A and B are shown apart, each in its own frame.
Chain A
Amino acid sequence: MSSSQHVVIIGNGVAGITAARHIRRISDKKITVISAESDYFFSRTALMYVYMGHMKWEHLKPYEDWFWEENSIELKKVYVEKIETSSKMLFLKGEETLNYDQLILATGSVPQFLGLEGEDLKGVQGLVSKQDLELLEENTRNCRGAVIVGGGLIGVELAEMLHTRKIPVSMLIREKAFWQNALPLKDAEFVSRHIQSHGIVLKHETELKKINGSNGRVNSVETSSGEKIECDVLGISVGVKPNIRFLEGSGIETDRGILVDPYLKTNIPDVYAIGDCAQHREPVTGRKAIEAVWYTARMMGETVAQTICGNPFKYKPGHWFNSAKFFDIEYQTYGLVSANPGKSEDHFHWENKKGDKALTIAFDRESFKFLGINSFGIRMCHEVFDKWLTEERDLEFVLKHLGKANFDPEFSDRHEKEIFSSFKKNVFQT
């Protein structure tokens, strides 16, 4: 391979940076990472901790600043205005241009808004970028109350953040319970109860109807149930969408995201897209076309690095897994647990008496094959579940060996016996 090749990566999030690191490991290509958001790679999932005072901004950087120069990865903080694929050139803000041999688009997401009047008022915002965090700091100064629209991962983060500043929070949730479009109802209700126990007001099956403001700032909202709630901050967390507006007119084919084939290639030669901004033309079975998740962004970065360095690999992620934390309760999932199981999928659900630990195990109604697990408040070992999914174990095997998958700290209370007897009572007797 030629040493003069120049790989340009737009976006310094986990997708882009993972690609850069892996390309550097196996090649001597020139690598430039461009971002308008921050000087250095930071952990987006940890933005909340800066606001809550757990960490400072510098702690969010997974690599020390010397890392980039030492590994010959050039970082550029600038906004890319236009891409001209015919001449392989980027037009940067301020007249500058940059040529590339291979281009990786890893531009991530922007908050999805609802399209309601008043969303441009001061105090109305999402939470995705560093700039959003800075805006939140400004918006919550002397804030008497906040409303969050949308019961999802960013919504609960926002609620936890504002809660640490003693700001009263109401959350409007379209579904019957928190994040019910991703969690089975029992799990969703379990999480809802926990969030409420922290003093957050959850308004289930409620949508935002109207945003009122005065002097350019939001002061109240009206909900679908006809209620009016006073607020100085309105957090919009109904989801994110690919950050692709700057691609208009570039000839790179987009739909909701940048369309890519299994090799993460766009319709234009030498242009790739990875992470939140990519939309798979042929998603892997059981997976979504756009997955705005840290882990999948990282895996796309790993994959595209090989392809670019001459070892073409299709993006074929392994068994699904994810994690989150809802206030004090950690959540991990391995395999697929449907929010609304169809005919063939059944669920076994267990909760402890105290209401801070829960499990839902999905299995095939006919064959009892283990399909996936949601775990709340109990840490589970990724490797063990990955293996069991590959080995297509059945429900009883998983429950019998659940102790082997436990990843809780030493001396933690164990619940395997209780879970197993609950399973025998509930699943076999019904």
Chain B
Amino acid sequence: MSTAHNNMSLTGEPPAKLSTTQKVATGIGWTGLFILVLALFNLQLPSIFLWSAIILITVGVILFANDLYLGRSQGIKNDGIWFRSMTARGILAWGTGIILTLFYIVLYWFPQYLGYNPDGPNNGLVALFDPLSRFISGQPASQWFVYGTLYTLAILAFGYKFLLKYRHNKYEVLRTYSVMFFQLGFAFLIPEILMRLNQPYFNPVNLWPLNYDLFAGYKLSEFFSAGNIGLLMLFFGIASIFVITPILTYFYGKRWYCSWVCGCGGLAETAGDPYRHLSDKSRAAWKFERYIIHTVLVLVVVMTIAVVYSFLNENPDQFWLDKNVFLLGSAAFLVLLFGLIFIFKRHRLARDAKKGAVISLGIVLAIIAAFYFSGMTYGYLLRQWYGFLIGAAFSGVIGVGFYPIFGNRVWCRFGCPMAAVLGMQQRLFSKFRITTNGGQCISCGNCSTYCEMGIDVRAYAQKGENIVRSSCVGCGICSAVCPRGVLKLENGPLDGRINSDAVLLGNDVDLLDLIRQQKVATRDSHSSPFRKKE
């Protein structure tokens, strides 16, 4: 806006500089990465190189974090964030973004360049990971094993950094231990060990619809051919989304998953933490978010119904469930769900949300009807396209590749259908909210700036209102960075949870009563509280 503020971000004053130790640490970490790049050239490196790479990367991050945070007072450490090239969309950020994006493109569509060879021995980078893979699952590595290992390494190493950064805040500490635990144990080790035991690859905390393949034909065949264990997995997968998730979200909000358990959230909160302030807070971005995330939800529902239908169609006599009964049952379930929401929560839905819901339901029902009458679903094709567009391009390439440019929660905010489901629950049926502390807000903007989901937290806090937003993942950083102790994440009674009639405490009580009445009288639930007067 003004020239002065441009100057400020270009001055390159001391807080933007790295200390000598940090430079050495960065060098050590990059050496580890360099070994991995070296492996791409198919040099047949012995396994000591893999261990060296992993150790060097870990040591680099740990040394860097120690120098940055240890020996310094505990507290918010955001000095110079907007001055650094790496965290303020400078050349380093763009470079990192481009390298990450290219990595994802190769990973998804050209794994052979990484050395993956499904028909014989691996070479290159994937071969470097063979010994580790054999050690855990008894099988040679795939590109996904390489990715999973690096992903877990990133969550653990940068998790350590995050733990130091927020060591004064127990909520942040516990939450970070939790995501580190679930990534290492549930997302990385358990599925690999299951493979060793000749069981289906299954990560119990990767829930449908985030895990869009849970009900894919090949997966269902795997479950059914694995006997009781397979059935248990399938049962757990269904119960997770339809029973466990609603209960936990009711008590704790969607944070129990998004910032305590989920692997995508885990990476965003650890390796992605230095980019959280880059999310777009504009009203325009919020509108865009609501369209696109619910579109993805519609797509995943349609795609899943289609693949299950195709599966039943191809295996007509194996199951008690008839393909048409399944279609009608799905339609009936969706109608019932929407009906209940409309009956009980009508007053909580803004006009555009109602419109969106009706249109979405209409589209899904129309497609189900088309499946029913044509008997064709193109389930495999739909799954393939969903996997390509959403699973790979959106969640991987854009979601993680663009961390340094658009922030760390692009996928979680704009794309994740699981977040959409949890978000609806959080908004409509949950005890969770962020409360604001009376009249203490000074509108400073730290909360909004550091909200990775792009929620304009300040807009609520400076009106004295609770923050009850479907997108909030409950990371708690708004509360942590607030310099005046205004924000608190809480689970409490449903009564008064959404308090859009709130006023800021502090003034004459009679005056505040009047202001409250005026606010209610002039508040239009689907637009700005201040009407435009022509």
Contacts and interface: CB of A to CB of B under 8 A. Distances in A.
B440 A321 contact: yes
A104 B514 CA distance: 21
A57 B283 contact: no
Interface string B451-495: 000000011001000000000000010011101110011100000
Given A25-B518, A330-B485, A306 B511 contact: yes
B81 A62 contact: no
Interface size class of B (residues with CB under 8 A): 35 or more
Nearest to B458: A62
B438 interface: yes
Contacts of A328: 73-76, 168
Given A24-B530, A53-B82, A407 B515 contact: no
B9 A323 contact: no
A4 interface: no
B282 to A, nearest CB: 6
Contacts of B514: 306, 311
Contacts of A165: 13-15
A49 B81 CA distance: 11
A164 B507 contact: no
Interface string B1-38: 11011011101011110000000000000000000000
A359 to B, nearest CB: 14
The residue in A55, A64, A140 that gathers the most chain B C-beta atoms within 10 A of its C-beta is A55
A198 B5 CA distance: 27
Interface in A239-286: none
Contact of B505 (A26, A46, A164, A383): A383
Interface in B491-534: 504-511, 514-515, 518-519, 522, 528-533
B80 A53 contact: yes
A409 B488 contact: yes
Contacts of A229: none
B79 A164 contact: yes
B449 interface: yes
The residue in B76, B444, B459 that gathers the most chain A C-beta atoms within 10 A of its C-beta is B444
Contacts of A166: 14-15
A143 to B, nearest CB: 10
B170 interface: yes
Given A25-B529, A382-B437, A409-B488, A45 B444 contact: yes
A151 B530 CA distance: 41
Contacts of A311: 514
B528 A53 contact: no
Nearest to A167: B14
The residue in B8, B80, B83, B440 that gathers the most chain A C-beta atoms within 10 A of its C-beta is B440
Contacts of A72: 532-533
A165 B16 CA distance: 9
A325 B483 CA distance: 6
Nearest to B534: A72
A381 B78 CA distance: 26
A32 to B, nearest CB: 14
Contacts of B84: 53
Nearest to B474: A410
B200 interface: no
Nearest to A164: B79
Interface in A354-384: 356, 379-383
Nearest to A325: B483
A54 B449 contact: yes
Nearest to B282: A64
A215 to B, nearest CB: 23
B135 interface: no
B445 interface: yes
Interface string A379-420: 111110010000000000000000000011111110000000
A380 B82 CA distance: 31
A299 interface: yes
Interface in A136-184: 137, 140-141, 164-166
A137 B505 contact: no
B287 to A, nearest CB: 12
Interface size class of A (residues with CB under 8 A): 35 or more
A64 B284 CA distance: 11
A69 to B, nearest CB: 8
B385 interface: no
B340 interface: no
A57 B78 contact: no
A70 B524 CA distance: 14
B283 A64 contact: yes
B440 A382 contact: yes
Given A67-B528, A382-B440, A386-B438, A317 B5 contact: no
B426 interface: no
Contacts of A408: 485, 488
A188 interface: no
The residue in B73, B489, B508 that gathers the most chain A C-beta atoms within 10 A of its C-beta is B508
A198 B73 contact: yes
A134 B13 CA distance: 14
A36 B172 CA distance: 42
Nearest to A30: B533
A38 to B, nearest CB: 8
Nearest to B507: A299
B446 interface: yes
A55 B446 contact: yes
B443 interface: yes
Contact of A46 (B1, B171, B442): B442
B209 to A, nearest CB: 29
B484 A323 contact: yes
Nearest to A194: B73
Contacts of A325: 483-484
Interface string B77-105: 01111111000000000000000000000
A14 B462 CA distance: 11
B239 interface: no
A56 B507 CA distance: 31
A389 to B, nearest CB: 12
20 contacts: A24-B530, A39-B1, A45-B443, A45-B444, A46-B444, A52-B78, A53-B81, A53-B83, A60-B445, A66-B283, A130-B4, A294-B442, A298-B439, A313-B510, A317-B507, A321-B438, A332-B440, A380-B485, A409-B171, A411-B171
Given A45-B444, A299-B507, A328-B76, 20 more contacts: A24-B533, A52-B79, A54-B449, A56-B5, A57-B2, A57-B5, A70-B528, A141-B11, A295-B440, A313-B510, A318-B509, A323-B440, A325-B484, A382-B438, A386-B505, A407-B488, A409-B170, A410-B170, A410-B476, A410-B488
- 5 A-B pairs with the lowest CB-CB distances in the bound complex, closest first: A382-B438, A328-B75, A379-B485, A46-B444, A57-B5
Interface of B: 1-2, 4-5, 7-9, 11, 13-16, 73-76, 78-84, 168-171, 174, 282-283, 437-440, 442-446, 448-449, 458-459, 462, 476, 479-481, 483-485, 488-490, 504-511, 514-515, 518-519, 522, 528-533
Interface of A: 14, 21-22, 24-26, 28, 39, 43, 45-46, 49-64, 66-67, 70-72, 130, 133-134, 137, 140-141, 164-166, 197-198, 294-295, 298-299, 302-303, 306, 311, 313-318, 321, 323-325, 327-328, 330, 332, 356, 379-383, 386, 407-413
